[in-house]
Every structure is written in C-alpha cells, then in structure tokens.
Amino acid sequence: MKLIMLGAPGAGKGTQAKRVAEEYKIPHISTGDIFRANIKGGTELGMKAKTYMDAGQLVPDELVCDLVADRIQQDDCANGFVLDGFPRTIPQAEALDVALTKIGQKMDFAIDIDVPDENIITRMGGRRACLSCGATYHVVYNAPKVENVCDACGNALVIREDDKPETVKKRLDVYHEQTQPLIDYYTKAGILVSVDGTKNMDEVFADIKAVLGK
C-alpha cells in the first residue's frame, strides 16, 4: 500500500500519516527524516543535500526525488509506505512517477485532508506554547488550567510566530500556489481521495481507513 498524504499546513496530515503508518505497519516517510538519516549516515546523496542546506538553499527536486527513491527501495518498504510532505510541486510529482516506474511501482492513493483556510487559521491561531518546557496547548481543544500559564512549569504561554494569523495566511497562500495543483494532478491520475479534515481526528482516521478498505 503506497500512499501520499496531502493537505494544507495545519490540516493534520502529519498526524494522520503517522496513524496510518502505525495501523498498517508501513513506514511513515518525510523528506526531513530522509535528509537527516542520509546526512547522519554520510551517504553520497546526503552529503549533496547538506551542501545546499548549509548554504540556505532549497535541495533541488531531482536530488530530493533520488533520496526518496532510495528510501522507498529499502526492505521496510516492501509492503508499502506513506509519504508525508512530498511531493510538494508538480515537477516533484512527475519526478516521483518516473522514479517509481523505473522500479516497477506506482502510488495507490493520494489522500487529501481537506480543511477550509478559515478553519486552519482559527485552529493554528489557537495554539499556545511554553518556550521553557516545550509543552503545547490549544485554547479550544486543549486549554491550560489557567489562561496563558503552562500547567507543567507555570511559565507564560506564547503564540509562536508560525501560528500567528498573518504567518499562517502566507503559508496557505504558498500552499495554494505550489501544492494545490497536485490535487488536479492526482485526480487525473485516478488515485485522489478527499476526506473531510474538519471532523475530529478519530473520525478523519476512520474515513481514511474506509478508503483503504481495511
């Protein structure tokens, strides 16, 4: 079972990808994890990626796809895998298809966690973080006992820069410009399935399992 998880920042695709991986005993693969593993292992591909990252540049699509292709051919991917955060663009999707074709494989599903922008802005804007101990909260879903005070260590809670409405809006704009076209790409390929990401996490996961047929 080979899956791609799609969804805007804050839609919950990372959470669902991890649950799918655990449920179906397949690896949860993110490009960040691949970069770290290859750099730590000192592989040729990892060292190439590191030169770009050290220079503050984006790793080229071709190299990212080589790293992903190398990862999905490892033994633990024999029964499938779930890709989280890749591909992000049409060129990456096309390169992934080419890489898969070379090894006689293809993706089974691209699952889009669909959440309206206004929901995401509200959801992420409600997050609060403790910079002292790392605990995280949400004013609606997981509120601290005392407003803006960390339950664990008693220090003040803050809104991270990434969670401020104006920052979230910018990230969503980038997503719609670069990644949203993947919805059309995988629709044409006949493998896209959308699930309602406004439901609670357990309901979303149940909908995904219904799609996967197990």
Find all residues with CB under 8 Å of 18, minimum gap 6, and list them: 28, 84
Q: Which of 18, 48, 50, 88 is catalytic?
A: 88
Quick one: pLDDT at residue 85?
Answer: 86
Quick one: pLDDT band at residue 150, thresholds 50, 70, 90? very high
Quick one: pLDDT at residue 179?
Answer: 84
| Beta bridge mates, 6 | 112
CB-based burial label for 153 (10 Å; 0-12, 13-18, 19+): exposed
Fold held by 2-116+167-212: Rossmann fold (3.40.50)
Is position 36 annotated as part of the catalytic site? no
- Report, as an integer, the average pLDDT of 120-145: 91
Q: Is the pLDDT of residue 207 over 90?
A: yes
Quick one: pLDDT band at residue 135, thresholds 50, 70, 90? very high
Is position 123 annotated as part of the catalytic site? no
Q: Is the pLDDT of residue 191 over 90?
A: yes
Find all residues with CB under 8 Å of 12, minimum gap 6, and list them: 113, 115, 197, 201, 204
Average pLDDT of the chain?
A: 92
Quick one: pLDDT band at residue 23, thresholds 50, 70, 90? very high
pLDDT tens profile 172-190: 998 899 888 999 999 999 9
| Closest among 184, 211, 171, 192 to 11, alpha carbons compared | 171
CB-based burial label for 70 (10 Å; 0-12, 13-18, 19+): middle
Is position 19 annotated as part of the catalytic site? no
Instruction: Name the DSSP class of 150.
Output: -
Quick one: pLDDT band at residue 214, thresholds 50, 70, 90? low
pTM: 0.82
CB-based burial label for 101 (10 Å; 0-12, 13-18, 19+): exposed
- Report, as an integer, the average pLDDT of 28-41: 90
Q: Which of 18, 48, 50, 171 is catalytic?
A: 171
Q: Which of 13, 19, 123, 128 is catalytic?
A: 13
Quick one: pLDDT at residue 53?
Answer: 87
Quick one: pLDDT band at residue 61, thresholds 50, 70, 90? confident
Quick one: pLDDT at residue 180?
Answer: 86
